[in-house]
Amino acid sequence: MAHIGFIKALQEHEIRIDRVAGSSAGALVGALFANGNSTEDMLSFFKEAPLFKYNYFSITKPGLIDTERYYALLKGFLMHDSFEELQLPLHVAATNLLDGSLKEFNSGELIKPLLASASLTPVFSPVMIDRQLYADGGILSNFPLELVRDYSDRIIGSNTTELSMVEPHQLKNAIQLTARVSSLMIYSRTIEKLKACDFYIQPEGLKTIGFLDKSGIEKAYQLGYEEGSRVISAHLSTI
């Protein structure tokens, strides 16, 4: 939700965005922003999205929760199901689990690509689109700069992947070790892309908020807003 706080800071500084790219939860925030929804609407969407509602659990699909159960909720906020109906161009990254490629969605049907991009496995089930199975875009591109690099003279980034030091006692089992290695792989790819941004936020403190912790939505929003305000002010002072 730090992305939403950053958007609020950008709006307060009257910085106009004309194209959006996103992966995972960033794709959902990006779509709501490109649709013209307010930051209050964006926060409401994530607060209203149920996580462990009994009829959302997946029975016939891989994953604990059936991602497509969120279709109606998301459409209720977007009010349509088309990239072409958005106010701004949107580029969504998703991972094709069948051939291992990164898929860009930027036209046609909107909601299923968004759900696919945000389907963090194994919690959320992958989404079938045109007989291909798609999951979290962050698997292959957590910061999909490559989708908009050729369209933009200036790039503004919002990165919520935080890497911090760990102690040996935090790497005592296979699960902890796997999580650490995955974080290092994702972060190493992201940090190189961040260098191409004119400015970006990377708020500290987000690791203390679980990705399924709805009680942390406001805290993450505030972290994004405060870091965004600081970074924007610093950038404007150099112009």
DSSP string for residues in 165-194: ---GGG--SHHHHHHHHHHHHHHHHHHHHH
Q: What is the pLDDT of residues 43-54, one digit of tens each?
A: 999 999 887 676
**Which carries the bigger pLDDT value, residue 235 or residue 162?**
235
What pLDDT shows up at residue 211?
Answer: 59
- Dihedral over Cα of 14, 18, 24, 29: its sign: positive
| Cα–Cα distance for residue pair 46/50, rounded to 1 Å | 8
At residue 57 the predicted structure's pLDDT band, cuts being 50, 70 and 90, is confident
Of the listed ranges 20-29, 68-77, 163-172, the least confidently predicted one is: 163-172
Strand partners, 129: 132
Q: 179-199, pLDDT tens digit by residue?
A: 788 778 778 888 889 999 999
User: 144-173: per-residue pLDDT in tens?
Assistant: 999 999 998 999 999 988 777 788 888 888
Alpha-carbon Rg for the chain in angstroms: 17
Using the 8-state DSSP alphabet, how is residue 199 labeled?
E
- Strand (E) or helix (H) holding 224: helix 217-236
* Prediction pTM value: 0.90
Query: What confidence score (pLDDT) does residue 21 get?
Result: 98
| 72 phi and psi angles, rounded to 5 deg | -65, -40
Strand, coil or helix: 70: helix
**Residue range 61-75: mean pLDDT, rounded:** 92
Sign of the torsion formed by the C-alpha atoms of 124, 129, 131 and 137? negative
